[in-house]
Amino acid sequence: MSPGARNFWVAFIVWIEMNSEPGWIPRWIRENGARLRDLRIERRISLKQLADEASVNVSQISRVEAGQDARMSTLLKIYRGLGYYVDMDLQESCEEVGDLLSKEAWRREEYRDMGLGQRWR
């Protein structure tokens, strides 16, 4: 653990559900930005202090807090700068996706065995 790191843990669970609900990704991004802003304000940390602690630009934190998209690495740095460790638990959204991917892999292997799948190599 780095010096000054606090012993806070946050479970950052991303459930990707296969549904037709439009706009869930932008909504998650906005909610995540608001959560980060609330955590920063709750701890009475300025944007500049957090940027220094997280090793990111102030503008990156401002964009995230405003609900704009950011790289996962940037989000991880910001949470770390606030004293959180991020624990991701990826869940398979449905068994059918795994089955479909397995069938597609099997089909491609069959095509390769027949000499028809050269373009996939």
What's the mean pLDDT in 83-104?
72
Confidence label for 91 from pLDDT (cuts 50, 70 and 90): low
Query: In the predicted model, what is the mean pLDDT of the chain?
Result: 77
**Domain map (residue ranges) of the chain:** 1-90, 91-121
Residue of 65, 61, 63, 9 whose CA lies nearest to 37: 65
Three-state DSSP state, 85: strand
The CATH code of domain 1-90 reads 1.10.260.40
Question: Tokens representing 55?
Answer: 């090793």
Over residues 13-37, the pLDDT tens digits come to 344 444 446 677 888 888 889 999 9
